[in-house]
Amino acid sequence: MKSSRSRSRNKNRNNRPSGGNIVNRVFDSSGPEGKVRGTPQQIIEKYNQLHRDAVLAGDRVNAENFAQHAEHYLRMLAEAQKEIDAKREEQEKQNRERQAERDRERAERLKAQEEASAGGENEGEAGLVETPEEQPKKRRSRKPKPKAEQPPADANAEASEAPDAPEAAE
């Protein structure tokens, strides 16, 4: 069995949250009228209401006590809001820096593309790579088919036949 000492190591000794979103966190406040539970804003409203009630009842001691409790949670809420705003500003600063870097890189790429296209027009498209579509097509020469040797026929028959003349019907 573990000792109580090891179990208490993880507990927050000063009763303050160790990070996280304090604005939406639910607290248990032990005030003079018993426990008040809720978010800091809800607790502030509750103690302010108890303060007004005590003032109307003429109980100055309890009224001051409730006002101090409300002020405590008001300060906690203000501190948490400052931290949230600081984180937001830091995040926005980082986002602006990233966007500026992207814009610089984009401008450099566009400038390089413009220089490449201007250089290609003036210098005979130097620096560009030829693609297969741009290369002229080479025609391969075929070996002539060997003519089948036919026995010499009537020499007059060949001369009389014109290539454009229609054949006679038999």
Q: How far apart are CA 130 and CA 121, in angstroms?
A: 15
Look-up: residue for tokens 């190591």?
9
Look-up: residue for tokens 């003032």?
55
Write out the residue range of the structural domain in which residue 74 sits. 21-122
Name 30's bridge partners: 35
Domain contains 72? yes
Q: How many domains does the chain have?
A: 1
Cα 59 → chain centroid: 58
CB-CB contact of 73 with 39 (8 Å): no
Domain contains 4? no
Domain contains 6? no
Domain contains 67? yes
Name 35's bridge partners: 30
Cα 2 → chain centroid: 46
- Whether 1 shows a pLDDT value over 50: the answer reads no
Query: What is the pLDDT at residue 25?
Result: 81
Tens-digit pLDDT profile for residues 48-71 = 999 999 999 999 999 999 999 999
Of 20, 17, 14, 66, the closest CA to residue 43 belongs to 66
Domain contains 99? yes
Domain contains 33? yes
What does the longest C-alpha to C-alpha distance in the chain come to? 146
Query: What is the pLDDT at residue 102?
Result: 95
Q: How far apart are CA 64 and CA 71, in angstroms?
A: 10
Domain contains 75? yes
Name 56's bridge partners: none
Q: How far apart are CA 91 and CA 35, in angstroms?
A: 38
Domain contains 34? yes
Q: Residue 61: enclosing H or E segment and its boundaries?
A: helix 60-122
Q: Taking the C-alpha atoms of 33, 39, 45 and 51 in order, what is their torsion angle to the nearest 10 degrees?
A: 30
Name 38's bridge partners: 27
Q: Is the pTM of this model over 0.85?
A: no
Tens-digit pLDDT profile for residues 100-125 = 999 999 999 999 998 888 865 555 45
Tens-digit pLDDT profile for residues 129-167 = 777 776 666 667 777 777 776 666 555 555 555 555 555
pLDDT, mean of residues 17-33: 72
Query: What is the pLDDT at residue 35?
Result: 82
